[in-house]
Amino acid sequence: MKKSPRPRLPSAKKAPALPVYKNSALPAEKRVKDLLARMTLAEKAEQMRCVWQDKAKTLVDEQGNFDAAKAAAAFKHGRAIGQVGRPSDAGAPADRPNFGQTARGMAVLTNAIQKFFLEQTRLGIPVIFHEECLHGHAAREGTSFPQPIALGATFNPALVEELFAMAAWEARARGTHQALTPVVDVAREPRWGRVEETYGEDPWLVSRLGIAAVRGFQGDRSFADKKRVIATMKHFVAHGEPEGGQNCAPANVSARVLREVFLSTFKATIQQGGAISVMASYNEVDGVPSHANRWLLRDVLRKEWGFQGFIVSDYYAIWELGHRPDTHGHHVAADKKESCALAVRAGVNIELPDPDCYLYLEELVKKGVLKERELDELVAPMLLWKFKLGLFDDPYVDPEVAARIIGCDAHRQLARKAAREVITLLKNDDGVLPLDAKKIKTLAVIGPNSDRGLLGGYSGVPKHNVTVLEGIKGHLGGRVKVVHHEGCKITIGGSWQQDAVVLSDPAEDRHQIAEAVAIAQTADVIVLALGENEQTSREAWNLQHLGDRARLDLIGRQNELIATMVATGKPVVALLFHGRPNAITELSAAVPAILDCWYLGQECGHAVADVLFGEHNPGGKLPISIPRSVGHLPVFYNHKPSA
């Protein structure tokens, strides 16, 4: 008897094999090799570019929301981009660039942009979002703690690590992957407007706090918990002693000083801290601009120190290898094509902030000026960290988590703790401090910095920003009458975003001083808030946005205000708020009690009140020397015996 044939079952179709680079079970290095082999020349070049201001034309609408139609038009045929700069400022008005996305809004935006590049481009390569995090995430609602020069006064690496871990979490919760921070420049030129961004003049202190900041940002570099971001060491190198104190001017230092002072902080933060990224500096060293300096970026950074991460350009700095009309140029390149070639040969992995000189990458390879393998070498480490950040596998963030943790009470308390540790007692004759509220009926709070936000540069818009006047009133709770007057102005307006520096009118200032004297005479004690504002000490990035100075005296009629307050015969306590050390010979001679506060962040007023009334002992130390005048320069404690 014949057996019936067994019926054939339909065979299950095999799922197509997953490309190696999409297999999360494989090592990141293997995935990079596979992906790089699949990429066209154009796709490699795209990974070396970023959009920042251009995102308004390519990714977001006027309100800062993701615009799918714009994205599809800008990134046709599966095109991509390496980074997106500062999604936090999407939709912000031009005069308030930090007043952009809320915490929840930015998380939604970064998710949408990431989804587009993962799903609508040929290879699905995710983007890195970078942000400024100098003293907290410089964004709307982000917690703002003291400026780095102020943190230098704490001499407390553990605190610095805790602060930057907080900043990393707030930034990452919104979708950020890379912080363009910390600054480990050694500040040896107080006329320079960027002193506030540094930890001071001592290479050892700078390196210890720099390492702490890197560890806060990066943790163990696994990035598994989505609470950490890549740290970017800047500005490489010798930016902190520019000729004449002018931002971007040459660093005229010897090879020994370069090694012992300026390179040492970067070496420590890379080899001991594990920093993943470095930003080249605007200036030149020994006649060679950093963005074209093969010796600096290849021989020292990569070969000597074993750096395996990636180098980002400072904003527009590759363009400035030639000439940038609104600011300056090094004139070592004839045009943007030559600037592109110089930067690639030096080893700059990506151009920030918008597509510019690196738009010529493909053309230069096709013409034989550059070789494709040179691009491979620069693209590979950036892809590696996209894999290690988990962006190919789990790139999205939870908007509700962002809304809950950013600017929360716990972070606010940490910012207050840091602000208290910063405050440095410079003088306390006759035991004026601490003030005893029980013995004061009326307290006068006077001065141009008495009732304004004092965050300093690279700041966002925190949920809370407590002024000196508000902090004192809150502490006293009505038990003491508090009277107030501005006294005089430093400049008109004085905000970081305000480009033009407009000096105050002397006659108006003197009228204000007379009014302040009348108010101060009714008080038992005078608290005098002086120093600088965000305009007079800041990064000078073009001819209309200045911040370096030729003199270090207190600006305007502040010394006249000091003299009149002392003349009332009342006890005077001076609070100094500034980004750089000022020449304060008149102040130090006349006023019995002086507290140096630098910029204390959003909890400024609370911290000041805690110290004034004895709740906290001012234990800060000076991270930088105070010159008597510009004629005293250069002045730093670790000078040679012959100096």
CA distance 361 to 539: 30
Whether 54 sits among the annotated catalytic residues: the reply is: no
Is-contact 239 251, C-beta < 8 A?
Answer: yes
CA distance 624 to 437: 33
Kindly report the number of other CB atoms within 10 A of residue 242's CB atom. Answer: 25
CA-to-CA dists, residue 243 to 113, 150, 622, angstroms: 42, 24, 24
CA-to-CA dists, residue 23 to 19, 26, 82, 177, angstroms: 7, 6, 21, 21
pLDDT of residue 290: 98
Structure tokens at 385: 């960290």
Kindly report the number of other CB atoms within 10 A of residue 366's CB atom. Answer: 11
pLDDT of residue 576: 98
Is-contact 363 53, C-beta < 8 A?
Answer: no
Phi-psi region of 536 (alpha: psi -120 to 50; beta: other; left: phi over 0): alpha
CA distance 488 to 505: 10
CA-to-CA dists, residue 279 to 142, 235, 292, 386, angstroms: 23, 6, 13, 18
As annotated, the residues of the chain forming the CATH 3.40.50.1700 domain(s) are: 409-632
3 state DSSP class of 66: strand
Structure tokens at 613: 């009334």
CA distance 297 to 345: 10
CA-to-CA dists, residue 385 to 31, 44, 274, 293, 311, angstroms: 11, 15, 13, 24, 12
User: What is the reported pTM?
Assistant: 0.96
Q: Specify the residue for token string 């989505």.
A: 226
Structure tokens at 56: 């308004």
| Nearby residues of 47 by Cβ (< 8 Å), 6 or more positions away | 39, 80, 81, 82, 125, 350, 379, 382, 383
pLDDT of residue 8: 62
Is-contact 516 508, C-beta < 8 A?
Answer: no
Q: Specify the residue for token string 């490489």.
A: 236
CA distance 174 to 104: 7
- Angle subtended at Cα 266 by Cα 260 and Cα 272, rounded to the nearest 5 degrees: 105
Structure tokens at 116: 């587009």
Is-contact 330 284, C-beta < 8 A?
Answer: yes
Phi, psi of 129 (to 5 degrees): -100, 125
Burial of 408 from C-beta contacts in 10 A (0-12 / 13-18 / 19+): middle
Which residues are bridge partners to 527 per DSSP? Answer: 445, 573
- Burial 310-322, CB ≥16 within 10 A → b, else e: bbbbbbbbbbbbb
- CA-nearest of 35, 108, 122, 128 to 80 is 122
CA distance 597 to 577: 5
Kindly report the number of other CB atoms within 10 A of residue 592's CB atom. Answer: 16
Spelled out in words, what is the top-level CATH class assigned to the domain 409-632?
alpha beta
Is-contact 443 523, C-beta < 8 A?
Answer: yes
Output Rg (C-alpha) for the chain, integer angstroms.
27
Burial of 2 from C-beta contacts in 10 A (0-12 / 13-18 / 19+): exposed
CA distance 322 to 339: 7
| Nearby residues of 282 by Cβ (< 8 Å), 6 or more positions away | 235, 239, 247, 248, 289, 290, 314, 317, 320
CA distance 380 to 37: 11
Is-contact 288 318, C-beta < 8 A?
Answer: no
Dihedral of alpha carbons 531, 181, 622, 611, sign: positive
Is-contact 34 19, C-beta < 8 A?
Answer: yes
Measured torsion, CA atoms of residues 330, 332, 335, 337, in degrees rounded to the nearest 10: -120
Q: Mean pLDDT for each 10-residue chunk of the chain (643 residues)?
A: 56 74 97 98 98 97 96 94 98 80 97 98 98 98 98 98 98 98 98 98 98 98 96 98 95 97 98 98 97 98 98 98 93 98 98 98 98 98 98 98 98 98 97 97 98 96 97 97 98 92 96 98 98 95 91 97 98 98 97 98 98 97 97 95 93
pLDDT of residue 131: 98
Is-contact 48 347, C-beta < 8 A?
Answer: no
pLDDT of residue 94: 73
pLDDT of residue 14: 67
DSSP letter (8 states) at residue 617 = -
C-alpha 225, offset from chain centre: 23
Structure tokens at 570: 């009342």
Phi, psi of 131 (to 5 degrees): -145, 165
**Catalytic residue chosen out of the listed positions 54, 314, 356, 548:** 314
Kindly report the number of other CB atoms within 10 A of residue 471's CB atom. Answer: 23
Burial of 427 from C-beta contacts in 10 A (0-12 / 13-18 / 19+): middle
For 194-233, how does the pLDDT look when each residue is reduced to its tens digit (9 = 90+)?
999 999 999 999 999 999 999 999 999 999 999 999 999 9
Kindly report the number of other CB atoms within 10 A of residue 634's CB atom. Answer: 13
Is-contact 233 184, C-beta < 8 A?
Answer: yes
Structure tokens at 554: 């207190």
